[in-house]
Structure 1
Amino acid sequence: MRRISIGIIFFLLVLFPFPFVHADRGMIPVFPEVSVYEPGQKAIVAWNGQEEILILSTDVISSSETLVVELLPLPSKPEIEIASFQSFEEIQRLIWEEGLNRFMYSTKGEARSGSVEVVFHEKIGAHNITVVKAVDATELVDWIGNFLQANSVDKTVSLGDFESVVKDYMGRGFRYYALDLITVTSDEKSVDPILYKFNSSFLYYPLVITSPVPGETEIILFLLTEAQVNEDYQPMQKAYYRVVGEISKPIEFVLSKGELSKIDLRIGELFDDGAWLTVLKYDGNLSWLTRDLMITEEALNPAATVNVEITLPTTLIALCILLGAACTLIGVVCTLLIMRSKKEEAKTG
């Protein structure tokens, strides 16, 4: 089967959305009294009883450009190599992950044996993202309730309203759930987007997960596919160019690999050639979102795959023609010279 690569811009996994979410600086209130992002001296010390590895990071600030000297007494001659601050970031991540597991449950053993497993946690810009793996809807909803309570989140919707929705996702085989805590102010503004990348045999965007939330919404999806999207996928509809006095046309066209890379280099790497851009939109009540957007490879238009055309400049084409003619002329001259040489040899012989 032909491999299909699908990308969606401004992508969300199965998130737990709340219209009014607040978390203290976006961080969970399991507050270990350490942070690798605070100024000062930081060190990783590893010792096996015979050898020690010391990774040291020190923040030095001066009112003007100057040289400083750090003096570090050591018990023996060291080997010195470059290290990375990622070592500290990884330790910080592990600390937060352990805090989530330990304080969401009464005991550490219960945290480890539960069906809800934290598989990722990281603060990215204004986002505080946690990804969990779960197999039971009730336990997941309970875990999310504890998680939101620990983060002082204003729950505008009862979590009980979400249990049937989560059961629906569980029944369809969804096991990973991402929670993104964002501090929202009274000023409406967009926060930096997050990119998720995962394996899927179909194009996917979650809609049902938002249906228990009251209110109206507007959703705009920019789909990038190897073949053309044939039709509307209710409740989503194709967006159109509206021009007075002319027939409206859907916003769908082919982007080159270079154009995809300008959107995001990782999207450019997702496709071998170019891709079809299709814009879908929805404007209405959240409760009407009763199905997710799921498009299989078979549903795309195979006759409208991306064709790559190589267009050469006119001067380059002319140059190629002249070069070809010159090569032909040289070949003819060489042949005549060889024939003439053979005739002269025959006469002298």
Structure 2
Amino acid sequence: MVLALRRFHHFPLFTFLLLSLLSLVPVALADRGAISLTPGVSIYEPGQKAIIAWNGEEEILILSTDVSASGSTLALEILPLPSNPKAIEKASFESFVNLQSLIWNYASKALGDHYRGADQTKSVEVVFHEKIGAHDITVVKAENATELTNWADQFLRENGISQGISLQKFGPVIEDYMARGFRYFVLDLIALSLEQKSIEPILYRFETSFLYFPLKISSPVAGDSKITLFLLTPGRIASTVYYPLQIAYYQSPTHREPIQFTVTRGKLSLIDLRIGELFEGDAQLTVIAYDGPLSALTKDLMIAEQAITTSPESGFLYTVLIGVVIGASCTLIGVMITFLIMRTKRSKYVTSG
């Protein structure tokens, strides 16, 4: 479909955010790229938040960002996805509040005694457009990186951003996504101001055969970033698949424990009802983090099902229990048969005597 976009004449800046990320409990920072369209105007990123829930077939991604600018401006978020999103809906800050509460409530158990308290082109198709609160969201399907960057330039012009700015340095990164089969890109226009504020969260739901969060798309942007991701999965994730991110820890003056524990289905629903419905049972929460240059993010976070172990302890105990029950039953049957044989022989002996 052809999308008629309204024009913004009061926002001279464009922020290219290929993917917002998130914050951990007292600190709220994450990965996203920024390009200044007007010299001397910059974007500050004091806090970014994301919750990633994956059940092996579908992923729910809840994104929110705390941002401010040195002048009134417009920000564009671009989020590459492995499939066409099934749902793009408003989410709530309560999801982060409730998740934070779960993490701190588990701290005492983890630390124990240590705890102290645009117009379509041939290969760019607009498949979704909707305004949700402060977000003006467009989803496009693209087959060619050059066509996508050209379309994005036109998209900006149609929204009142006419300054000469090239997105060509993102071409190689977008081509990499294309080569890996990514065809869907979310473009989210957000109005920013001098006042720092939290942008209301947006929930994306899409099919994927792996847990996914895009990082590489921010690599062309200069500067450093702090990233914290809350991962919810059916089982425990192998510790070798996070790089360059690392697992986050509970920390006391004398002890530390990884932030990784089981969340019941009921508590998953407290985070978000849609996340509770995503899982058939409990889920494992793992928090991972990164602090360093964006240029070092040379690959996305992609975790295959094989890297997730689903409750190995419970499976082992179940197997042992079944073995014990079967063994005890066989022993009991054997004793009873022996008793009957001996009783029969004794009866014959008494009769013959």
Q: For the Cα contact (< 8 Å) 2:61–2:204, is it kept in 1? A: no
Structure with greater strand percent: 2
Q: For the Cα contact (< 8 Å) 1:6–1:226, is it kept in 2? A: no
Q: Which residue of 2 aligns with 1:177?
A: 185
Is residue 238 of structure 2 the alignment partner of residue 212 of structure 1? no
Looking at structure 1, the residues matched to 220 and 239 of structure 2 have their Cα atoms a distance apart, in angstroms, of 27
Q: Which residue of 2 aligns with 1:240?
A: 249
Q: Which residue of 1 aligns with 2:97?
A: none
Counterparts of residues 141-220 of structure 1 (less than 5 Å): 141-153=149-161, 158-220=166-228
Looking at structure 1, the residues matched to 68 and 140 of structure 2 have their Cα atoms a distance apart, in angstroms, of 18
| 1:176-233 Cα deviation digits (max 9, x unpaired) | 0000111122222221111000000000000011111222212111100001112151
Is residue 316 of structure 2 the alignment partner of residue 265 of structure 1? no
Q: Which residue of 2 aligns with 1:297?
A: 305
Q: For the Cα contact (< 8 Å) 1:222–1:278, is it kept in 2? A: yes
Indicate the SS of the match to 1:147: helix
Indicate the SS of the match to 1:198: strand
Q: 1:137 to 1:250 in 2, by over 3 A?
A: same
Q: For the Cα contact (< 8 Å) 1:224–1:275, is it kept in 2? A: yes
**C-alpha RMSD of the superposition:** 3.0
Looking at structure 2, the residues matched to 278 and 22 of structure 1 have their Cα atoms a distance apart, in angstroms, of 35
Question: What amino acid is the match of 1:255?
Answer: V
Q: Which residue of 1 aligns with 2:140?
A: 132
Looking at structure 2, the residues matched to 306 and 181 of structure 1 have their Cα atoms a distance apart, in angstroms, of 47
Question: What amino acid is the match of 2:56?
Answer: I
Indicate the SS of the match to 1:191: strand
TM-score by length of 1: 0.57
User: Match for 1:280 among 288, 307, 320?
Assistant: 288
| 1:9-64 Cα deviation digits (max 9, x unpaired) | 5349xxxx99899349x9xxxxxxxxxxxxxxxxxxxxxxxxxxxxxxxxxxxxxx
Looking at structure 2, the residues matched to 299 and 183 of structure 1 have their Cα atoms a distance apart, in angstroms, of 40
Q: For the Cα contact (< 8 Å) 1:7–1:267, is it kept in 2? A: no
TM-score by length of 2: 0.56
Q: Which residue of 2 aligns with 1:250?
A: 258
Q: 1:204 to 1:229 in 2, by over 3 A?
A: same
Q: For the Cα contact (< 8 Å) 2:234–2:283, is it kept in 1? A: yes
The number of aligned residues is 217
Calculate percent identity across the aligned residue pairs: 49
Counterparts of residues 294-333 of structure 1 (less than 5 Å): 294-304=302-312
Q: 1:116 to 1:138 in 2, by over 3 A?
A: same
Question: What amino acid is the match of 1:209?
Answer: I
Question: What amino acid is the match of 1:237?
Answer: Q
Q: Compute the displacement of 1:148 (Å).
A: 1.7
User: Match for 1:10 among 59, 62, 65?
Assistant: 62
Q: Compute the displacement of 1:137 (Å).
A: 0.7
Looking at structure 2, the residues matched to 218 and 154 of structure 1 have their Cα atoms a distance apart, in angstroms, of 31
Question: What amino acid is the match of 1:298?
Answer: Q
Structure of larger gyration radius:
1
Q: 1:301 to 1:263 in 2, by over 3 A?
A: same
